[in-house]
Amino acid sequence: MKARVHVMLKTGVLDPQGEAVRHALGALGFDGVEAVRQGKVIELDLAETDRARAEDQVRAMCEKLLANTVIERYAIELLD
C-alpha cells in the first residue's frame, strides 16, 4: 500500500520560504499572488495491507518524525 503525507505549517506560523516564493513570483511578473504557503509531500511504500493499521503506522511516523506537530499539520492519504 502507498501512503502520501501532506505537511504544511499551521495557520499563524510565519513561512519565510513561502514569502520568498511570493516575492520571486512578483519579480517575474506574476502580479496578484497575495500569499504563498510552502509545504512538503512525503510518499511511502508500505508492506502493510490493512488500511486501518497502515493509517495508524503512518500517523505514528508523522507524530515521531515526519512532521513537527508544534508548528506543522499533516494529512494522510492512503492509496491502493
User: Could you tell me the CATH number of the domain that includes residue 63?
Assistant: 3.30.1280.10
Q: Which residues pair with 77 in a beta bridge?
A: 4
Predicted TM-score (pTM) of this structure: 0.89
Report the alpha-carbon distance of residue 73 to residue 39 in Å, rounded.
Answer: 10
pLDDT, the chain, mean: 97
* Coil/strand/helix, residue 2: strand
Q: How many CA atoms lie within 13 A of 17 on its CB side?
A: 6
pLDDT band for position 15 (cuts 50, 70, 90): very high
Is the confidence at residue 33, as pLDDT, over 90? yes
What distance lies between CA 52 and its chain's CA centroid?
A: 21
12 dihedral zone (left: phi>0; alpha: psi -120 to 50; beta): left
Reading the block at residue 43, the C-alpha cell is 510518499
Domain hosting 50: range is 2-79
**Tally of structural domains, the chain:** 1
pLDDT band for position 80 (cuts 50, 70, 90): confident
pLDDT digits (tens, 9 = 90+) for 37-58: 999 999 999 999 999 999 999 9
